[in-house]
Amino acid sequence: QVQLVESGGGLVQAGDSLRVSCAVSGRTFNTYAMGWFRQAPGKEREFIAAMTWSSGRTFYGDSVKDRFTISRDSAKNAVYLQMNSLKPEDTAVYYCAANRRSQVRIPNMYDYWGQGTQVTVSS
């Protein structure tokens, strides 16, 4: 089992920056990648970013590329999502997830999920 706990969400204004964190614990030895997804009311869960656990290779969704950055701190067993130039359409619940397989952009390929953290961007 892998436990994931997100934190750092909140209310910000358009153009602001925010960093959300994911604390990772449990049996992480067979984790292939860590990912961030978001879900707004009435919309499907959207892939935001992912990082492979061993090599650190990164992947980004088209809607956040060049604005968001995924990173990790192996010593702290934490994964971060730095969000810059935030827009009202970035408003959503942001989820951290652990993937034991490939295809990092597909939510169904992830085995463990956190409870989510709300990010609200006002115009």
Report H helices in the chain. none
For residue 68, the tally of other CB atoms under 10 A from its CB is 20
Alpha carbon distances (Å) from 24 to 15, 44, 88, 93: 29, 25, 28, 18
Confidence category of residue 116, pLDDT binned at 50, 70, 90: very high
Per 3-state DSSP, the chain is made up of helix, strand and coil in percentages (nearest 5) of: 5, 55, 40
For residue 31, the tally of other CB atoms under 10 A from its CB is 18
Tell me the pLDDT of the chain averaged across its residues. Answer: 95
**Partners of 99 in the β-ladder:** 33, 110
Residue-wise pLDDT for 77-103, tens only, equals: 999 999 999 999 999 999 999 998 889
Q: Show the tokens assigned to 19.
A: 């960093």
92, 56, 84, 85: which is closest to 71 by C-alpha? 56
Task: Kindly tell me if the per-residue pLDDT of 29 is higher than 80.
Answer: no
